Amino acid sequence: MTEAAERTRLRADARRNRDRIVSAARTVFAERGAEVPMEEIARAAEVGVGTLYRRFPDRDSLIRAVAVDTLQRVLDTAQAIVAREEDPWAALTEVLMSIADLRVVLQLSLLSPRARVVLAEDEDAHRIRDVLMGILDELVRAAQENGSMRTDVSGADIAVLLSLVLRGINGLPHDLKLAAPPRFLTLMLDGLRPGSTTPLPGRSVTQEDLDFVRTSNEG
């Protein structure tokens, strides 16, 4: 192997390791918060601790990478949807249904003071959020102009509702936790289009489920 080929291979290996670490951290942070020991993240990524620290010298840099990577993936998806879907209501619906990944960023911001500070100071995170908000505003205005959406809400209203939906309820049974975002996003979207009768995904929350949540939190 030539020296140039070896450098290319090493760069590719480094990129793969980085992607594996960020992917593993995204999953671990979503399940257990941002204070999980770095050694556990390395195990989940199937890399050595030394490899993790070479890519991310501290926890803050890993939190930042997870958040920015997640936001960029969401933005890429939203832009692709808008590029191919001419109907603004259909585009808005698909965008909202496709951004469950934002739960990770939301949970980091809500549950970890450390992550909240890191993300508040990150210029890339701010830039991507601004672009996403611009897309949302444009879709809302276009849907209102063609009569497919009620006119008394704003893009910011949708963003707040979305954050409430994605926040979820700690302690829900696993099947409900998986079904909750599309189910309640469908309810939210129906509220934006009076007369809509879209079937709701998943099953209804029962009193037993709420009791389960209460007892789990008490424990």
Higher-pLDDT residue of 202, 200: 202
Query: What are the pLDDT digits (tens) for 140-187?
Result: 999 999 999 988 888 888 888 887 787 766 666 767 766 777 888 888
Structure confidence by residue, pLDDT tens digits, 59-71? 999 999 998 988 8
CATH superfamily, domain at 3-167: Tetracycline Repressor, domain 2 (1.10.357.10)
- pTM value is 0.76
Q: Comparing C-alpha atoms, which of 39, 35, 57 is closest to residue 48?
A: 39
d(CA 147, CA 150): 7
Looking at the predicted structure, is the pLDDT value of residue 124 above 80?
yes
* pLDDT for residue 201 is more than 90: no
Is residue 199 pLDDT above 80, yes or no? no
Segments making up each domain of the chain, as ranges: 3-167, 168-219
Contact of 144 with 122, CB cutoff 8 Å: no
Closest CA to 91 of 124, 130, 33, 136: 136
Q: Which two tokens stand for residue 98?
A: 């496709």
More confident residue, 44 or 102: 44
* Beta carbons within 8 Å of 14's beta carbon, 6+ residues apart: 55
C-alpha Rg value of the chain to the nearest Å: 20
Mean pLDDT of the chain: 81
Distance of alpha carbon 171 from alpha carbon 212, whole angstroms = 7
Tell whether the model's pLDDT for residue 129 goes beyond 90.
no
Provide the Cα torsion 68, 121, 168, 23; round to 10°.
Answer: 30
Contact 103, 168 (CB under 8 A): yes
